[in-house]
Structure 1
């Protein structure tokens, strides 16, 4: 059973004095029993960095572990967003579509999303960095969270990856050589989905914020580099723990997973 924490009125007043756009917290009225409050991930981030772009897990099986999440597809064919149980592919050419259950993934992170905390962050000009600052009192740096942001975005800076040729290169080198397309969306309404993970998950997960965006018409989206939004609805789901299923593809067995790829991860997660 999850517990819900209400801020004392005095603390809310204090926060309001310190931040003119301090978030207002509510407890979700539709909170329900969670079928599985663990994060499920297929493979590890360092394998993708090492060039393991193929996996054996069909997305139909992935959906058994969650209705919310992010990832990519075999061959590095686009960014994945799992929203309301649908697995959507956001390709480098701008095409977005739901994929059949037989499509496979080399890396994905999913869970059943049931928010513990709902916040409203008033605008204007709520940037990605400002959001991180405003949410820091609600997120313990040693724990994991799933987060969902909804609202009107003045601007979203995003990217998607293009299918990689074989033999697969390492990820950072491939993206630096033009294996990604950057997008800048203006005046768009939609949803950011993703996770906030602690530093100790490095080499298996992406420490810090890792978000993907899709607009409400499902015509725009990608991996989020930055944004500026008006008032945002923020939903936070505390993660009890995580399970990793190792990639069974033959490329995973041959990958160099001893190398420290911290700097490579910074490169691929940030806009050049």
Structure 2
């Protein structure tokens, strides 16, 4: 297993005592950066066993970009290039993931017909700070969910923006399931995905993916957990050491997330 250099970002109101080895509650623990993933660094740098020690809810991907990750109730699932979801053994690894110990503090009732584009407006009444992190979970019956996954890559790895040009997409109608993910503030641009980043897993935990859009069929309660500690653990391998991360990849990220 590759080593990590821990980098700890501490937001207001908390002392500088967060351990990057085992994060406390109210922490978002992230492995590697989104720009490193965009650059094509797909080799796994953290085991699923270690990832599960850091949190019970989260999202990410797997070694060689082999599918989308959903961490739900402490279990880790891969949604592969066929759209099927399977539980992942602890021995597998991830090149990029974010997890937290989910302890929701707020909730918002979302009406029937709410879609992804409306989500920020629906949550505006809660007085959420744009400068904090939030973990989200939404269980409900959806009129539709549009997702995508990514196929396993072979070396030499292509940049992510090239991979998603042929990404498999999936459409679910009248489906029960769970959306999980995070809101990240604008100042983490290049480190994580600013704004809302959600993944989906159906109720039977057999299908899902990275969320491109959704529409609620029935009203549902969205649960939120404000996070005030951000723990970033950087890979210490040669690939990360050598990669040029000064390039602005904002346009690439927009293409990848759409």
Give your verdict on TM over 0.5: yes
The 2-side partners of 1:155 and 1:225 are apart by 11
Structure of greater relative contact order (alpha carbons < 8 Å, 6+ residues apart):
2
Within a 5 Å distance, the mapping from 1:151-190 to structure 2 comes to: 151-176=140-165, 178=166, 180-190=167-177
Q: Is the 8 A contact 1:54 1:251 kept in 2?
A: no
Match of residue 113 from structure 1: 102
1:185–1:220 CA contact under 8 A, matched in 2: no
**Alpha-carbon deviation of 1:246?**
0.4
CA distance in 1, matches of 2:81, 2:56: 24
Q: Which runs of 4+ in 1 moved over 4 A?
A: none
Q: Is it true that 1:223 corresponds to 2:213 in the alignment?
A: no
**1-structure distance, mates of 2:155, 2:169:** 23
**Cα drift, residue 48 of structure 1:** 0.1
Q: How does 1:178-217 map to 2 (within 5 A)?
A: 178=166, 180-217=167-204
CA distance in 1, matches of 2:131, 2:88: 34
1:58 and 2:42 correspond: no
Aligned counterparts of 2:124 and 2:210: Cα–Cα separation in 1: 22
Map of 1:22 onto structure 2: none
The separation in 1 between residues aligned to 2:192 and 2:134, in whole angstroms, is 13
Q: Where do 1:222-241 residues align within 5 Å?
A: 222-229=209-216, 230-241=218-229
Q: Tell me the CA shift for residue 243 of structure 1.
A: 0.4
Q: Which one has the largest radius of gyration?
A: 1
Give TM-score scaled by structure 2 length: 0.88
Give yes or no for contact 1:42–1:244 (8 Å, CA) kept in 2.
yes
Q: Which moved more, 1:54-63 or 1:199-208?
A: 54-63
Q: Is the Cα contact below 8 Å between 2:44 and 2:64 reproduced in 1?
A: no
Provide the secondary structure at the position in 2 that maps to 1:80: strand
Aligned to 1:90: 79
Shift of 1:59: 0.8
Q: 2: distance between equivalents of 1:232 and 1:52?
A: 37
For structure 2, the residue ranges without an aligned partner over 5 or more in a row are: 1-22
Residues 128-139 of structure 1 mapped to structure 2, 5 A cutoff: 128-138=116-126, 139=128
Matched, 1:258 2:246: yes
- Which deviates more from structure 2 when the two are superposed, residues 49-58 or residues 128-137? 128-137
User: Counterparts of 1:209 and 1:217 in 2: how far apart (Å)?
Assistant: 24
Q: Is the CA contact (8 Å cut-off) linking 2:52 and 2:74 kept in structure 1?
A: yes
Partner in structure 1 of residue 70 of structure 2: 81
Which blocks of at least 5 consecutive residues in structure 1 are unaligned?
A: 1-33
The answer to whether the 8 A contact 1:54-1:249 is kept is no
Counterpart of 1:267 (choices 240, 255, 258) is 255
- How far is 1:224 from its partner? 0.3
SS in structure 2 of the partner of residue 151 of structure 1: strand
Question: Tell me, what secondary structure is at the counterpart of 2:187?
Answer: helix
Q: Distance in 1 between the 2:204 and 2:158 partners?
A: 34
Instruction: Between 38-47 and 254-263, report the one with greater CA deviation.
Output: 254-263
